[in-house]
Structure 1
Amino acid sequence: MTRPAPSAPRVSRARERILLTADRLFYEEGIHAVGIQRIVAESQVTRVTLYKHFPSKDALISAYLDRRADHDHRQVDGIIDAHRDAPRRALDELATVLTRDDFGATQRGCPFINASAEFTGSHPARVHAREIRRWVTERLEELLRQVEHADPRRTAEQLMMLRTGAIVSGALDANGHLTDDFLDCWNMLVEAGLSRRAEARTA
C-alpha cells in the first residue's frame, strides 16, 4: 500500500500577520520607534502568540530582514535564470528592474541600510545587511566574469555602490532624471571593462 505524500506544513496566519505588520512598521517608522505592543495590537494577536513565533524582538527583526532578503534572492536569481545564456542581457535587466522596482518601492531608503544604521557591532540587522549586499555583489561579479569584464570584482562593488547611492538619492533628492542617470552610470561601468578587455586582445 502506497503511503500518501506528506502534506506541506501549515502556514500560521498569525505569524504572517505579525511579520507583515512588523515589515510595514519597521520600514516606515524605524525599528527602535516600534515597540512589541504596537505590533501585537496592529497584527491582532496576543503577546503570547507573538512570542511563540518570535521569542525576542531581535528574532522578529531577523525574520523581517530574512523576508526582505528572500524577495531580493528571488528577484535576482529569476533574472539570471531567465538570461542564463546571455549574461550581458542579465546585467541590463538587473539595472532596469532596480529602477522599476526599487526606486519606487524604497522611498524611505534601503531597508537593510536603514536597519543596520540603528544598531552597532554584530547585531543581526548589520549581519543581514552585510550578507545580502555581499550576495548581490557576488552575483554581479559572476555575470561580469561571464562577459569577460576586465575587472569584475572591482566593478561589481562599484555597481553595488552606485545602486546604494541611487536608492538614497531616490529617497532624499528631487532628481527627475534619477533613472536615466543611474542607467547611464551602470552601463558606463560595464562597458568600460569590456572595452579594456577588447583593447588588450588587439594590443
Structure 2
Amino acid sequence: MKGSDLPARERILQTADRLFYDEGIHAVGIQRIVAESRVTRVTLYRHFPSKDDLIAAYLDRRAAADRAQVASVVEQNADDPRGALTELAEVLTRDDFGAVRRGCPFINASAEFTGSHTSRVHAREIRGWVTGQLEELLRRLDHRDPRSAAEQLMMVRTGAVVSCALDGNDRLTDDFLRAWDGLIDGGLPQPR
C-alpha cells in the first residue's frame, strides 16, 4: 500500500514515528506532522487529542514491535532458554543496531521529558517487560542470580545501543556478544 493510500491514522503514526525518532519529539511540531502526513489538523486531533496522545501512540507502536520480536524469539526457542538468550543478543546485533542509528527510541524520548511523562512511563514498561523475559529465561537455566543478571544484560544491551549510535566501535558486535555471554555463563551451574 502506498503512503497516500494508507488510512489517515496510519499516515500520522508513520510520519510521527519517522520525525520523532530522527529529529526528536520537542523539535517536531504538530503542524509539520499534519503537513507531512497529508491530513488536516482536525483529522490529527480526532485521532490524537493532544501531542502527548500522539507520543504515547508512537511509543506504543515501538513497544508492540519490540514485544513481538522478543516473544517470537522466546517462542521459537521454547525448549532452549540458552538458545533464546543467544538469539535475543544476535537479533540486536543483526537487526537492531542498523535500525537504532540514533539510539533507543525509548531512551531518547525519556531524555526529552521529566517526571512521570508518558515517554518515561513507556520506557520503564517496555524495559521492565524485556528484563522480565530475560529473567525468566535465566531462571529456567538455574542461573545463580537471574534477577541481577537480567538487569545487567539490559544494561549491556542499552550500552551497546548507545555505543552503536555514538562511538563508531567497529568491534561492537563482538564486544557486546562477549559481554552478554559472560554475564549468562558466569552464573550457570558448573557441570559435574
Question: Does structure 1 residue 24 correspond to structure 2 residue 10?
Answer: no
CA distance in 1, matches of 2:162, 2:190: 34
- Aligned pairs for 1:38-57 (under 5 A) are 38-57=32-51
Match of 1:48, SS? helix
Match for 1:91: what amino acid? L
Deviations 1:66-102 (A, max 9, x none): 0000000000000000010111100000000011111
Shift of 1:198: 2.4
- TM-score, normalization: structure 1? 0.91
CA distance in 1, matches of 2:102, 2:122: 18
Cα distance between partner residues in 1 of 2:56 and 2:114: 15
Name the aligned partner's letter for residue 132 of structure 1: I
Distance in 2 (alpha carbons) for counterparts of 1:85 and 1:169? 32
In 2, distance between residues paired with 1:47 and 1:53? 10
The superposition leaves residues 175-203 of structure 1 with CA deviations (integer Å, 9 ceiling, x where unpaired) of: 00000000000001100001xx327xx6x
Q: Secondary structure at the match of 2:186?
A: helix
- Is structure 2 residue 75 aligned with structure 1 residue 72? no
| Superposed counterparts of 1:1-203, under 5 Å | 13-194=7-188, 197-198=189-190
C-alpha distance in structure 2 between counterparts of 1:67 and 1:80, whole Å: 20
Between Structure 1 and Structure 2, how many residues are aligned?
A: 187
User: Considering only aligned residues, what root-mean-square deviation do their CA atoms show, in Å?
Assistant: 1.0
How far apart in 2 are the matches of 1:134 and 1:145? 16
Moved over 6 A (4+): none
Query: Counterpart of 1:198 in 2: which secondary structure?
Result: coil
Three-state SS of the structure 2 residue aligned to 1:193 is coil
- Ranges in structure 1 where 5+ consecutive residues have no aligned partner: 1-11
Letter of the 1:198 counterpart: Q
Structure 2: tracts of 5 or more residues without a match:
1-5
Q: Which amino acid aligns with 1:120?
A: T
Distance 2:14 2:129 in 1: 24
> Who is 1:7 aligned against?
none
Q: Which amino acid aligns with 2:11?
A: R
Which residue type is aligned with residue 46 of structure 2? K
For the pair shown, which has the larger CA radius of gyration, 1 or 2? 1
- CA deviations over 1:26-63 (Å, ceiling 9, x no partner): 00000000000000000000000000000000000000
Instruction: Tell me how far apart the structure 2 counterparts of residues 14 and 51 of structure 1 sit (CA, whole Å).
Output: 11
CA distance in 1, matches of 2:33, 2:95: 27
Q: Deviations over 1:135-180 (max 9, x none)?
A: 0000000000001111100000000000000000000011000000
